Copies of this chain bind each other. A is one copy, B any other.
Amino acid sequence: LLKRFNETLQETGNPFAMRSTIRDVSRRAGVSVGTVSNAFNAPERVSEDTLGRVMEAARQLRYRPSRAARSLAGRRSFLIGYRLPTPDTWGSLTLDAFLHSMAADASRHDLEVMLFAARPGETITDGYEDLIRREAVDGFVLSDTNYDDARVELLLDRGFPFVSFGRAASTRPFAWVDVDGAAGTAAAVRHLVERGHRRLAMVAWPEGSEVGDDRVRGFLRAVEEAALPDPPVVRVENGVDEGRAAAAELLDLPGAPTAIVTVQDSLAFGVMSEARRRGMEVGADLAVVGFDDVSFSALAEPPLSSVRQPFEEIGRLLVEMLVEQLEGAGSIRSELVRPELVVRESSLGRQR
């Protein structure tokens, strides 16, 4: 009875019509439901004539397959799981661009992104385990991946598809995308050397963070390649105040640097602040280059030169690599993407 009502609604083109099912399409096209399914999922198996009729019927009924049914029958969820980092975590991840590019690219592959958050009292892997058991996602995107990440080990053990933003130490290979931090700081050094600087210095985090150590490495290598003297590296925790203190230390040195590169913009803001306090003009008297190009860097005074991570590209790559796994290409690859040095006034000023 309800069905008849529904069909009437559909035929009158009533926009409030209940949704139509594959059964409705098959009836209208005069074929079996299996053929409708094939028309959508394997059109090459269907004759051109039939395909046309099915598609026309589907169009008229505004048919869209039920995800739950597709999912149950096809044993895939069409969902990519992503656990949000805790907001108070210091992260250089700009979620907006990252999530948007993931979601946009996923939809090109008939996938969507499902978010979840760590629950209090859970282990690092519990949320992932749970989603696997519920067959709620087809694969995961990991971010904020640590050196020895339990999630990587779990997913490798399970043989469950995933890609990671960030490398991790694992004896087994897995798919990751990472930013070539060393290339970023090296680009900063080359830029500064070109501008005539000879006495460089770096403000970095304490040793032991993969990301930070990578950035220091690139800095040191580029300084060496430019045949400059060994530069001082001050190591502090993240923060504007810490950047200030580090700058004070560096600027008090006998042969004080004329250019400072930092591993994060907030440190660079501190460096600029300390320089200004000493009556130096940032840009002219002291060049400063940060890392991550946070949203405020362009608005700072002077605007801060910074190394920008290409989050759009990263999100896209992660999805592509996950899709490759889902489609069974079997290729576990990894990609190191080059960040981009955004040059602004803080490293320009007068040429030396």
Which residues of A come within 8 Å of B, CB atoms? Answer: 15-16, 19, 62-69, 71-72, 77, 79, 84-87, 95-97, 99-100, 102-104, 107, 112-117, 119, 130, 132-136, 157-158, 240, 266, 269, 273, 276, 294-296, 299-301
Residues of B with C-beta under 8 A to A113? 114-116
**13 A-B residue contacts at CB 8 Å?**
A19-B133, A19-B135, A69-B72, A72-B72, A84-B99, A85-B96, A95-B95, A95-B96, A107-B116, A107-B119, A113-B114, A240-B299, A294-B295
By the criterion CB–CB under 8 Å, are A79 and B114 in contact? yes
Q: Smallest Cβ distance from A276 to chain B, in angstroms? A: 8
9 closest A-B pairs by CB? A296-B296, A68-B71, A64-B133, A68-B72, A104-B117, A103-B117, A113-B115, A67-B136, A103-B115
Residues of B with C-beta under 8 A to A135? 19, 66-68
Docked Cα-Cα span, A134 to B110, in Å, equals 12
Docked Cα-Cα span, A104 to B134, in Å, equals 18
The residue from B62, B136, B266, B299 contacting A133, defined by CB atoms under 8 A apart: B62
The residue from B77, B104, B107, B112 contacting A67, defined by CB atoms under 8 A apart: B77
**Which among A16, A117, A135, A158 has the highest number of chain B CB atoms within 10 Å?**
A117
Closest to A80 in B: B115
Docked Cα-Cα span, A95 to B32, in Å, equals 46
Docked Cα-Cα span, A53 to B76, in Å, equals 31
Closest to A273 in B: B301
Docked Cα-Cα span, A86 to B19, in Å, equals 29
Docked Cα-Cα span, A13 to B210, in Å, equals 37
Q: A68-B135, A99-B84, A130-B64 are in contact. Are A299 and B301 (CB under 8 A)?
A: no
The residue from B69, B119, B158, B273 contacting A104, defined by CB atoms under 8 A apart: B119
By the criterion CB–CB under 8 Å, are B134 and A116 in contact? no
The residue from B69, B84, B100, B294 contacting A100, defined by CB atoms under 8 A apart: B84
Closest to A104 in B: B117
Closest to A240 in B: B299
Q: Smallest Cβ distance from A118 to chain B, in angstroms? A: 8
Q: A134-B64, A158-B16 are in contact. Are A266 and B112 (CB under 8 A)?
A: no
Residues of B with C-beta under 8 A to A240? 299
By the criterion CB–CB under 8 Å, are A266 and B299 in contact? yes
